[in-house]
Structure 1
Amino acid sequence: MRAVTELNLTPKSACGCGAAHDQLPELDATAIPHAVRHAAIHGVVDSLQPGAAFVLVAPHDPVPLLAQIAERHGDDIAVDYVQRGPEAWKLKLTRA
């Protein structure tokens, strides 16, 4: 029997800052197995429709992942930091 990993794409952010991202789905990267984490996140980014966004929750500043996203999508994906550690980094990713 195969184990199923839940990606934990929740309906809204729990940071409580009151910003517009509170209405966005939140993807907790820590719930994704490390071996497929970047590929899974790229799948979510690739599937964003114009104007759509989500909040990525990462256990560290995902600089290498952001470089990969920029290489794949150029200026089509905007990244805004919502929270910068120390326990988690939250980034809003939006397709132009």
Structure 2
Amino acid sequence: MSDKPVFVALAEVKPLAGCELDPQKIAGACVRCYVSAKNERLAVKAIRAALATLRYEVVDIEWCVDDAEVEWENPANSEGLELVEAARKLGEVQFGEFHAWTGEEDES
């Protein structure tokens, strides 16, 4: 696994019935995803499959980049570094914190 790069993506998702986030209360969420893959296409495919298993509809993959080829705004972020290493070691998609919204913000 260590020869494969780790890709980081930002996904916008919508919870479906049976999801950990209640679709009756949560309209959507954004989450950083980390996966070891040979290329971006395979990384996005793995992320979509993992999110579907967790009962999320993928609204958009806003970006997907090779972690080693990007300068991050906070390169020493311990959570990000741990998730990159977990993705590399375990070979499974890892997720950061889900930042959710209710949709009530639209109602004014």
Q: Same fold (TM over 0.5)?
A: no
Structure with the largest fraction of helix: 1
Q: Report which structure shows greater RCO (CA 8 Å, sep ≥6).
A: 2
Which protein is bigger by CA-based radius of gyration? Answer: 2
Which TM-score applies when normalising by structure 2? 0.25
Structure with the largest fraction of strand: 2
Which TM-score applies when normalising by structure 1? 0.27
